[in-house]
């Protein structure tokens, strides 16, 4: 390549991996000091995948989905059904199953929903997610209803983890998810900087001009939608293995709200936003949840962020003070 693109810190793969590894290094210490906070970090790492997926659609594709709980729910219930009906608690198969189910459903509804943008897309997604939620909720003889499906400890490649103490089990889970997240982050980085990623950004910035230069807008959006769904599905399967219970809550609209909100906190403008957002969100949530009016706090924060810091936490990385010193050259 001839051109060298200047990127702010945080909009590159390296700082993303450094941050993820730093968190992974800090994990044993945090867990030692406070196992509760360790679990919060576990959720933080688990959700990175869903937020990367959501941000592909929102940050890069300009499509705001209010229904990503649909895919988290699909991943979760795929894992639940695999155990309940087939006795499978192998985590690789849970992940594979959730990839297939979210891929399948996204390929089915994607062609319909990506024809719409903006409000129609947002609310159609909310609506479809609510339909699935109502199915999990109402067909209780299949899904266990609000009691849900209890999961045993998962096995890694068939190796059972039943005999281990809690701390070891949680550490294994955390590092398993970290490895997977690093892999998914790498794929996503390649994706958003591929010709596909650039075309997707073009459709976000100007749909009409993108058509003029020959980009198939519909196809770009559909691909982004399906990939985004798979990333969210993976988080769904992982999250229920973390809490070892599958309930309709993970498919409820409030989960979609959390996805949107966590991405906004981190900032959707930089590649690193979702990683920061996931951890900060779960930290904020764990404190806010102690206060039963946490939706009030969340709602107020959404409004404050949108009105005053639309770029989220990563906006600070782009301010002149940081930007001037930390701007890094990438590409080349």
Partner 1 sequence: MIGLEELVVRTYNVFFGASVLFLVAVGLNIIYGVMKIVNLAHPSLFMFGSYTVAGLIMSAVVNVFGSSIAPLLLLPPIFAAIVVVIVSLALYPFFQFSSGKGDEVQLLITYGLLLIFEDIFRLVWGSAPLRASQPFELAGIFRIGQYIVPLYNAYVIAFAFGVAVLLWYFLFKTKLGMVIRASSMDLEMASALGTDAKMVLLLTVALAGFLAGLGGGLFIPSTSAMLGMSVELLVLAFVVVVIGGLGSFFGSLIGALIVSFLRTITLIFIPELELALLYIVAFAVLLLKPEGLGGGRKW
> What residues make contact with partner 1 under the rule CB under 8 A?
58, 64, 66, 112, 115-120, 122-124, 126-128, 130-131, 134-135, 138-139, 253, 257, 260, 264, 292-296, 298-303, 306-307, 310
> For residue 312, how many other CB atoms are within 10 A of its CB?
24
Least Å distance between CB 112 and partner 1? 6
Separation of alpha carbons 289 and 30, rounded Å:
20
Q: Which is nearer to partner 1, 134 or 146 (CB)?
A: 134
Least Å distance between CB 280 and partner 1? 17
Q: Is the CB of residue 184 less than 8 Å from the CB of residue 49?
A: yes
Q: Which is nearer to partner 1, 182 or 302 (CB)?
A: 302
Separation of alpha carbons 265 and 297, rounded Å:
13
List of residues 6+ apart from 107 with CB closer than 8 A = 226
Least Å distance between CB 134 and partner 1? 5
DSSP 142-190: HH-GGG-EE----BBTTB--TTS-HHHHHHHHHHHHHHHHHHHHHHHHH
Which region, left, alpha or beta, applies to residue 126 given φ > 0 means left and ψ of -120 to 50 means alpha? alpha
Helix (H) or strand (E) holding 7: strand 4-7
Least Å distance between CB 99 and partner 1? 24
Q: Which is nearer to partner 1, 164 or 300 (CB)?
A: 300
Q: Which is nearer to partner 1, 32 or 140 (CB)?
A: 140
Least Å distance between CB 304 and partner 1? 9
Least Å distance between CB 216 and partner 1? 19
DSSP state of 312: -
Q: Which is nearer to partner 1, 116 or 322 (CB)?
A: 116
Least Å distance between CB 272 and partner 1? 20
**What tokens were used for 103?**
């891929």
Q: Which is nearer to partner 1, 179 or 306 (CB)?
A: 306
Q: Which is nearer to partner 1, 96 or 280 (CB)?
A: 280
Helix (H) or strand (E) holding 35: helix 35-55
Least Å distance between CB 218 and partner 1? 14
List of residues 6+ apart from 87 with CB closer than 8 A = none
**What tokens were used for 114?**
């990506």
Q: Which is nearer to partner 1, 26 or 304 (CB)?
A: 304
The CA R_g of the chain, rounded to the nearest whole Å, is 20
């Amino acid at each position: 390549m001839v051109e060298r693109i200047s990127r702010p810190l945080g909009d590159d793969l390296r700082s993303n991996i450094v941050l993820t590894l730093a968190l992974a290094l800090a994990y044993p210490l945090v867990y030692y000091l406070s196992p509760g906070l360790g679990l919060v970090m576990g959720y933080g790492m688990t959700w990175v995948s869903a937020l990367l997926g959501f941000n592909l659609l929102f940050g890069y594709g300009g499509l705001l989905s209010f229904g990503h709980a649909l895919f988290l729910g699909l991943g979760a219930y795929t894992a639940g059904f695999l155990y309940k009906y087939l006795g499978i608690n192998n985590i690789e198969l849970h992940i594979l199953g959730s990839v297939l189910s979210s891929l399948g459903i996204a390929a089915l509804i994607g062609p319909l929903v990506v024809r719409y943008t903006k409000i129609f897309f947002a609310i159609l997604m909310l609506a479809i997610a609510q339909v699935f939620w109502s199915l999990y909720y109402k067909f209780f003889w299949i899904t266990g209803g609000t009691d849900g499906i209890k999961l045993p400890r998962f096995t890694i490649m068939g190796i059972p983890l039943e005999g281990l103490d809690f701390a070891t089990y949680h550490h294994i889970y955390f590092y398993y998810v970290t490895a997977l997240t690093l892999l998914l982050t790498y794929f996503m980085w390649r994706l958003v900087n591929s010709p596909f990623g650039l075309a997707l950004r073009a459709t976000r910035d100007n749909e009409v001009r993108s058509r003029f230069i020959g980009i198939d807008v519909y196809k770009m959006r559909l691909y982004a939608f399906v990939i985004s769904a798979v990333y969210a599905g993976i988080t769904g399967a992982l999250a229920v293995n973390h809490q070892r219970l599958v309930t309709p809550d993970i498919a409820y609209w409030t989960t979609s709200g959390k996805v949107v909100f966590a991405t906004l906190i981190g900032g959707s403008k930089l590649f690193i936003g979702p990683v920061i957002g996931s951890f900060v969100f779960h930290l904020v949530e764990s404190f806010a949840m102690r206060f039963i009016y946490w939706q009030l706090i969340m709602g107020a924060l959404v409004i404050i962020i949108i009105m005053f810091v639309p770029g989220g936490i990563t906006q600070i990385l782009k301010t002149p003070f940081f930007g001037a010193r930390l701007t890094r050259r990438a590409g080349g």
